[in-house]
Amino acid sequence: MEASLPPSGLPGLDPRFSRLLTVPGRGVDAGRSRVWHHLDTGPYLSERGIMTAGTILAVHGNPTWSYLWRRVVSETVAAAEAGRPAWRVVAVDQLDMGFSERTGVHRPLHQRVSDLAAFTEALALDGPIVTLGHDWGGVVSLGWAVDHTRSLAGVMMLNTAIHHPEGVPIPAPLRLAGARGMLAASTVRTTAFLDTTLALASPSLTPEVKDAYRAPYRTADRREAIGGFVADIPVDSRHESFAELERIAAGVSRLDVPALMLWGPNDPIFSDRYLDDLVDRMPHADVHRFEGASHLVAEDRPYATAVIDWLEDNGARLSGIDDSSPREAAARPTTSPDAPPFVPLWRGLDDRRTDDAIAVIDMAPRGRDTPLHVSWAQLDDRVRRIAAGLHRIGVRKGHRVSLLVQPGPTLTAVIYACLRIGAVVVVADAGLGLKGLTRAVRGSWPDFVIGEALGLSAARALGWPGVRISTARLPRASRATLGVPHSLADILERGTGAPIPAPPGPDDEAAILFTSGSTGPAKGVVYTHGELSALRDVLAAHFEVTPDTGLVTGFAPFALLGPALGTHSVTPDMDVSAPRTLTASAVAAAVRASDGKIVFLSPAAILNVVATADALTAEDRAALARVRTFLSTGAPIGEQLLASAADLMPNATPHTPYGMTECLLVTDVTLDGIRVAADAPDDGVCVGRPIGSNRVLVSALDASGKATGEPSADAGVLGEFVISAPHLKDHYDRLWLTDRTAERGTPSASDAGSGERWHRTGDVGHLDADGRVWVEGRLQHVIVASDGPVAPVGAEQDVERIAEVRRAAVVGVGPEGLRQAVAVVETLPSAGRPGLASPELTRAVRESTSLPIVAVLVVPQLPTDIRHNSKIDRSRLSVWAERTLSGGKPTAP
């Protein structure tokens, strides 16, 4: 069947870019020509005198066609017409697909790579060329790339795969479609395979877009190649396309050009397994996982915008002006030459390896009636044996090890063992919930998982990746059921007397810590060894930690720093994934057992500690009186709550540091500092001044509520905090767009020679004339009213001064730019059901603040994040308030 142009009226497809090209055939087509349909923006740009930087060669997969690339076609043209760097887009319909010629000839993978080469030669495409592929178009485009390195400038890909591990079945949808007796029925005789693919879009495609995808495949004879592509999947080494796929995979591992991978992690076909393989082959690639996106990521997310931004960011390399090696640049040390000498985290263990004094105490070890005490010598021996044992079973530098272990001596030993051999620990606490944990584990794609029985059961049931290692010896049947080849006891035995490999350096990745998920899906934050060591150093210096200090850690991120600081530590009797389970008596018992002088607690834990203080005995109070430093970490808290906790530790200096997963300590303020600041006219929560060499600047908000101002230290300017610190995270894990946003307009982004790294926090507030930092909310919670942006915290503080109000949240409702403020409050006593506040409370709220409040709603409890149980979910409240005020049923938010 002959090639043709697509019918007019397909949504989003500009007919001006459709072309037909006659191409001399190769391989099975030798001696004859084939006609290709393709989209090409080159002639259009040339007619307008727009010079192009290069060509994007876009290749679709199965069962789509060049319609898949309509957005990158239209958006690159719009960008060029707006004066941005212009890129020509050539998007092909592979032979037998879309509106290209139907050849009726068997076309395995090597033939399709040859076909594409014949097409680019006939079109006289020359460099610089950047390939863009999806699905099996990703394989074909990468095959072209490894064969045309002289004209290749870069590679971009959406969900695809170039390697499948031996012994692992291909994805279930492909197995089903390719099964004997099913192949023709599902792919050719019916539209089942096509319909199933289109149904993978998230959100769903409109009927008009679905119909456009179906346009070239109306009849069975036009769908033969859909079946052919499925049949050409090399399931094992006996398949005719296996060798070609292996050749392409090996070639990709050698490509030294800029690379971009945009991924839909919910893809049931090309899962994160294949992304992990691609990242291993191209470790210098920029990678972004679009949470919630699926197989048709080009339909699910604004990929074209990301492509254009990436092309612009990498313009010098793609054009050849900068001919440096991307692989070498990615491997280049990032530690500043002015940084102090690197002292690894495990040095504290090395220094006390023969010390029989207590290093770690677990107040609630499961299966024991008494606390568990572990000496420095025991801990060091266990760390060394686990490190050597892990190396003997194949754990190598850079391998990711997900830890599903409760804080305590076992987790401490495993973490330090991993760090010693350069394995990257992946820590996502149970506070994320099962769904959040699944997203975190799959997103990081660990090589190994070390867990307790409950965590390993979840890993098995939910298909989490990684070789599984149990912390306890399991019966043979349980090991088989859970797929556990090793136990920690096995690892210890293997490691006894075995050597430990060379340690990692300061620029090697050390850990991936996940954010709380309070402002969207939890993000993996990558730290290097140098950055974790810098965190230890700033903590030790600022809080004067010595070997005799002792830490009581009711806040998980700090529960593991004791050995690094060279001081003993204790975890109180609590569920660390549920901070509200901590009681005052448990804190006192931990202090008494350890003689700890510093207590770390989260705000949610403090609430319950204060609430259970009546149960303290005289002995408990005497122990708490020996504490000299108390820290509330995880979220800023107000003076009243901090003072209530301070009353329990009368000789301690109370601190409430400000930080985040990306930089755990940014500023610090004491209770006295808060009281001094209380006399200031500033709105927000005062979190003190930057610690050590940390720096905080503010990027001012514009009239639309966006942080567009040049970061500065000017006082009284409402904007987004931009921070720098020696212990600032290295990057987000596989979230290139998030990294790009976090670095936008910062000194590190604008000055390649800057020795400092900077990060946009997403927190808004201002600096005062004394350099103190005042937090006024999150950027996404700013209310953009007709007269400009308003941060919520100042008004919330006003409302919380009303005796009847326990906590308040101020959120926006209405159209963007014309938002109105609504107060949502918890009352004392608690409201029985959500709804409108009484006229008296409404009047009191409106009179308490200068911000115009259009409505006041009451709820039994404000929704909070799942980790800290303290950060109010204002985004959720805003949606709920708008629905309620529009006449919706007043259910709980």
Query: In sequence order, what DSSP letters do the residues of 465-530 get, joined into one string?
Result: -SEEEESS---HHHHHHHT--EEHHHHHHHHTTPPPPPPP-TTSEEEEEE--STTSS--EEEEEHH
CA dist., res. 246 & res. 163, Å (int): 7
The encoded tokens of residue 593 equal 């057992």
DSSP for 188-233 reads IISSHHHHHHHTT-SSPPPHHHHHHHHGGGSSGGGSHHHHHHHHT-
* Top-confidence range, 50-59, 171-180, 855-864: 50-59
**Looking at the predicted structure, is the pLDDT value of residue 617 above 60?**
yes
For 263-281, the pLDDT digits (tens) are 999 999 999 999 999 999 9
Domain limits of the chain?
15-167+241-320, 172-231, 347-528, 677-725+740-781, 783-885
Rounded (10°) angle between helices 488-495 and 376-392? 90
The reply to whether CATH 2.130.10.10 applies to domain 677-725+740-781 is no
* Top-confidence range, 437-451, 635-649, 699-713: 699-713
Q: Which of 324-338, 486-500, 593-607 has the lowest mean pLDDT?
A: 324-338
Length of the chain: 893
Q: What is the pLDDT of residue 574?
A: 85
pLDDT band at 765 (very low <50, low <70, confident <90, very high): very high
- Just give the CATH number of 783-885: 3.30.300.30
Is 407 in a helix, a strand, or coil?
A: coil
Of the chain, the percentage scoring pLDDT greater than 70 comes to: 94
pLDDT band at 109 (very low <50, low <70, confident <90, very high): very high
Sort strands 486-487 and 448-451 into parallel, antiparallel or unpaired.
unpaired
Q: Residue 628 class from Cβ within 10 Å (0-12 exposed, 13-18 middle, 19+ buried)?
A: middle
Q: Which residue is it, tokens 């030790």?
A: 540
pLDDT band at 183 (very low <50, low <70, confident <90, very high): low
The encoded tokens of residue 561 equal 């720093």
The encoded tokens of residue 605 equal 């834990």
Q: What is the pLDDT of residue 177?
A: 55
Domains 347-528 and 783-885 belong to one CATH topology: no
* Alpha-helical segments (H) within 767-888: 793-799, 839-848, 874-885
CA dist., res. 194 & res. 111, Å (int): 23
pLDDT (average), residues 39-46: 98
Mean pLDDT, the chain, rounded, equals: 92
For 591-612, the pLDDT digits (tens) are 999 999 999 988 888 989 999 9
Angle at 81 between CA 76 and CA 87, to 5 degrees: 35
Q: With contact defined as beta carbons under 8 Å apart, do 117 and 101 qualify?
A: no
For 122-150, the pLDDT digits (tens) are 999 988 999 999 999 999 999 999 999 99
Q: Return phi, psi of residue 665, to 5°.
A: -135, 115
For 184-239, the pLDDT digits (tens) are 677 899 999 999 999 999 999 999 999 999 999 999 999 999 999 998 988 888 89
pLDDT band at 865 (very low <50, low <70, confident <90, very high): low
Q: Which helix (H) or strand (E) holds 19?
A: strand 18-24
CA dist., res. 483 & res. 520, Å (int): 32
Cα separation of the two ends of the chain: 58
Fold of 347-528: Rossmann fold (3.40.50)
Fold of 15-167+241-320: Rossmann fold (3.40.50)
Q: Which of 367-376, 486-495, 829-838 has the lowest mean pLDDT?
A: 367-376
Q: Residue 678 class from Cβ within 10 Å (0-12 exposed, 13-18 middle, 19+ buried)?
A: exposed
